[in-house]
Chain A
Amino acid sequence: GENVEQHPSTLSVQEGDSAVIKCTYSDSASNYFPWYKQELGKGPQLIIDIRSNVGEKKDQRIAVTLNKTAKHFSLHITETQPEDSAVYFCAATLGGSFQKLVFGTGTRLLVSP
């Protein structure tokens, strides 16, 4: 089955710096890779996603890159702000059809003012 590894587990940056979170997956048939932000006591919120036919996607300060050959994808947050502090999860579909999502282990991002 699919296995998704995520690094780092914790990341501390100063406000205005960039943050990068990396994930690797094992199933070459996976074709959808979302990123979620989870604040304390709340459910995950989709912040950006990418499909296997695209190498990069950007939405304002957030971008995601995908390297299908290496089976890894990354989340890039620029000009970080304190409100970006949260736990971020990457995920990948199990197989080629969107039947299940397998989540990474999460990254706790702390942005200090």
Chain B
Amino acid sequence: GAVVSQHPSRVICKSGTSVKIECRSLDFQATTMFWYRQFPKQSLMLMATSNEGSKATYEQGVEKDKFLINHASLTLSTLTVTSAHPEDSSFYICSARFATEAFFGQGTRLTVV
């Protein structure tokens, strides 16, 4: 199957700072990537759809100025959590479409202290 790499796997940051998470498709080109958020023992909630060369599409209730998404190339999408607060602590997961399947990154555990 296709490989999606997400970095970093864990990050701890102070309140008020920004954190960037990278999602790379290693062996295929992805025009569309997805960003999810997962709270402990809960399901994956789609935050936004990242489209290469255009603006991301955010789900209802997700602040676009808070969660900045950039998809500048066919193999890289980034999610920046700006002015992070403790309530932003969560597990963030990206996925990329390859043909008609979705492959997921390893996830990033963000802890805001």
Give the one of B4, B34, B100, B106 with max A CB within 10 A: B100
Q: Name 10 extra pairs, CB < 8 A, besides A32-B100, A46-B104, A104-B43.
A: A34-B101, A41-B107, A42-B106, A43-B4, A44-B104, A46-B101, A98-B100, A98-B102, A101-B46, A101-B102
In the complex with contacts A89-B44, A103-B44, A42-B107 CB distance below 8 A: yes
- B106-A99 in contact (CB<8A): no
- B43-A105 in contact (CB<8A): yes
A104 and B42 alpha carbons, distance in the complex (Å)? 10
Whose C-beta in chain B lies nearest to the C-beta of A51?
B100
What count of chain B residues pass the 8 Å CB interface test?
A: 22
Question: Is B28 an interface position by the 8 A CB rule?
Answer: no
For A99, the chain B residues whose CB sits under 8 A away are: 49
Whose C-beta in chain B lies nearest to the C-beta of A36?
B104
A-B contact pairs, 14 of them (CB 8 A): A36-B104, A41-B107, A43-B6, A43-B95, A43-B105, A43-B107, A44-B104, A46-B101, A46-B104, A49-B101, A89-B44, A99-B49, A105-B42, A106-B42
Give the secondary structure class of B's interface. strand
List residues of chain B with CB under 8 Å of any chain A CB: 1, 4, 6, 34, 41-44, 46, 49, 93, 95, 97, 100-107, 109
